[in-house]
Chain A
């Protein structure tokens, strides 16, 4: 926990945010309402909630891909307008360019920003090594496994040294072992540059193991923040082992109590719609 001067703005701040989407039929769908959320500089914040509660929408607002209908979204004190600079985004599905090899994919960010090819490539090689892909520089994405593609995406984002890193269920498509491995790697890499992280997930265990703070959202439509739980587990953590700690189990029970009610609501709404 780093103490900051009182005037330093938080990394991310959402105040009274509401987001409506208009369906092609003209109906208005409210994805989020009254969302207040603060993520401190360098804080790892996990967001959990039932399907359709607006977790991903929150990320797109912070990234600047969407504008809030009401309320304000600030990154480092600046109101978001246009694509947020200094942000990284990891998508649930692959978003690395399939026609570029690993080296060019990782070097893409610096190249877009006008860094000379030689510098960008040597920097990229360094990040490829850090995510454990040394020797795979010349491979194309389709030649890599799902976990390796996630590593490429991670390196591609971290090479820009983002102040905030937004992650939308990045590891949900991976098998259980690979997932735990990637979570560990993520913590190790996060330790090197310490961006503020918003990590959206369905998996409460993953959330607690990774985060400084777990935010539980209510069932959608019109999801909002229900509760926040600080996670005081000591770092560095080993994701595969931390779940056996009594403190972890205790936290899990407390947060699950809160989350379960929302999951039940979401489930009954889905069933009502299906019926």
Chain B
């Protein structure tokens, strides 16, 4: 008995060990190439631009960006401490993102579920969506002043439509059988909306959140750009006004870090909310 099982087990172990080794090697290769690409781009930039002091003023240079970041962290920026600027921008973005998302979900589901509402409000929403909404930033600054409100309004307007259209589509795409089954089991129309349509549309809604948070950051920064006293947008504007290309880049690096952190949080939320889904297929590219 043992003589037959032992080779079999060791075979299993050896195979899974080889598999593990293969996976590690592949991961090393991917990270290695990534690092090489980064070094090549930054190195070229540093060497090509850094050799000419006039070009440095026009384009900025990696070493200068790092120095500027260090200065902002230790000394502070032209408009106040760096932490305050980041906090202001994130506050505007998150507040507007939350309000815009909730409004988008509520309106999307309502119009997706009630045909009458869709018929009445559909054209309005199409028109509002087709205008370049970023211009509304000027209107909001005039109407609500240079403070938090005007930026939050702009963020809401930018976030709303993406979430709305996905929620609307999600509500429309719900499997008819799921709804019919719930209705026959005794669910009211409201229960169907809450317990069948909303969870089903979540796949669509969550997909839109990634893009929506990007829009939220854009809205906050453009709002500050158009008229603001504090925030990363103001920082960029000030840097631009003083021919400080390194400062513009440095602010962008900070925004990138914020966006990545938000992306990570949204992905975690997605995993939590969509836990019921079967694991994604993994395998070779087809």
Contact = CB atoms under 8 A, between A and B. Distances in A.
Interface in B162-199: 175, 177-178, 180-188, 191, 195-196, 199
A111 to B, nearest CB: 9
Interface of A: 63, 65, 83-85, 87-89, 91, 93-100, 108-109, 112-113, 140, 142-143, 156-157, 160
Nearest to B188: A112
A158 to B, nearest CB: 11
20 contacts: A63-B184, A65-B184, A83-B183, A83-B184, A87-B184, A88-B184, A88-B185, A96-B181, A97-B182, A97-B199, A99-B276, A108-B182, A108-B185, A108-B195, A112-B182, A112-B187, A112-B191, A140-B276, A142-B276, A160-B186
Contacts of A85: 186
Nearest to A88: B184
Contacts of B278: 142-143
B180 A89 contact: yes
Nearest to B278: A142
Contacts of A113: 186
A93 B199 CA distance: 19
B276 A98 contact: yes
Given A89-B181, A142-B278, A160-B185, 8 more contacts: A83-B184, A91-B180, A95-B175, A95-B177, A95-B180, A97-B196, A112-B186, A157-B185
Contact of A109 (B185, B188, B199, B200): B185
A160 B190 CA distance: 20
B183 A100 contact: no
Interface of B: 175, 177-178, 180-188, 191, 195-196, 199-200, 276-278
B181 A112 contact: no
Given A95-B178, A97-B199, A99-B199, A109 B276 contact: no
Nearest to B273: A99
Nearest to A89: B184
Contacts of A160: 185-186
A157 B186 CA distance: 10
Chain A to chain B: the 5 pairs with minimum beta-carbon distance, closest first: A95-B181, A99-B276, A109-B185, A142-B278, A112-B186
A112 B199 contact: no
A108 B182 CA distance: 8
A109 B191 CA distance: 11
A85 B175 CA distance: 22
Contacts of B177: 91, 93-95
Contacts of A93: 177
Contacts of B186: 85, 109, 112-113, 160
Contacts of B196: 97
A95 B178 CA distance: 5
Contacts of A98: 276-277
Contacts of B183: 65, 83
Contacts of A63: 180, 184
A99 B178 CA distance: 12
B118 to A, nearest CB: 18
A14 B178 CA distance: 26
A85 B277 CA distance: 32
Nearest to A104: B195
A97 B178 contact: yes
A95 B183 CA distance: 11
Contacts of B185: 88, 108-109, 112, 156-157, 160
B165 to A, nearest CB: 22
A109 B183 CA distance: 9
A140 B276 CA distance: 7
Contacts of A108: 182, 185, 187, 195
